[in-house]
Amino acid sequence: MNDVASFKEIGFLSEHCSHGDFATEIKQSGHYMACMDLNKLAQQILNHCHIHPDDEKEVYLTLHFQRMLSHFQSIVIMSERGMTHQVEVMTRCMLELLINLVAYHQNADVLNAMIVGNDDQRREVLIKLLNEQERTPTFTTSEMTYLTDVINSADSIDREDIHVFMKAELAGLLNEYRTTYQLLSESVHSSLHSLQADLEVDEQSDSIIGINTCADHQDRLSSLMLTAADYLVSGIEIILQLHKQTDQSNALENVKQQLQNVWQHTVVKVSHR
């Protein structure tokens, strides 16, 4: 069975996708090799984490990091196969985990409220956030309305009521939430705008002639992989502090320099959206 027939029969499960010319090109790229080195370091760090079950912060932050690393590893695998949209989805998932990780690391009261807190504790966290907004406003009108409505609601405040944008503000990642997170969410929610990127359009007549069944957005993979790597680096820095693995600091700095060098030679394409 040739490569084309194999892909048509089982799609991205085809061996050609992981061993063909495109996969070989990806694996030989600077961004792929930098991500592999980062992954190896992150896995070593995770393997040497000694978790104390009675330390809730340590347990839950390490769980967040473990999930981030799993997402990162899946990004590497999917990048080999040119699965750009799937990489976008997992990068967005990594960002959401990073937002939680940073917010909980920097705000012990938020973590406690989310793990074992009751309605009153969660309301107290939201009131504190509202007071901060009155001093230094960063939320949109609709976000302020949502926050105020939740605080004033007679209903119980569920953990889901502490929305991602609130945790992004607490983590100092609100700008990342408003830009990258929203853009990547188009692939997560399969918006019409996102789906249109997979249409085959005749350049002369501008008419639709088919649907793409394989990746044709390969130019985005390098920037997506490096973005995901940046998120993982931020997670590693928190875990090193949490578990006091100072012996890995030099190794992390070397990988960060490697990633920075690759970024400098990466052309970031304008999104099709």
pLDDT of residue 135: 95
Residues 6+ apart with CB under 8 A from 246: 240
pTM (2 decimals)?
Answer: 0.87
Residues of the chain under the 70 pLDDT cut: 1-4, 191, 193-194, 213-219, 267-273
Q: Which amino acid is at 164?
A: V
Residues 6+ apart with CB under 8 A from 216: none
Residues 6+ apart with CB under 8 A from 96: 164, 181
pLDDT of residue 174: 97
122, 135, 67, 105: which is closest to 243 by C-alpha? Answer: 105
pLDDT of residue 272: 42
pLDDT of residue 209: 81
- For residue 200, give the 3-state DSSP assignment: strand
pLDDT of residue 266: 76
- For residue 3, give the 3-state DSSP assignment: helix
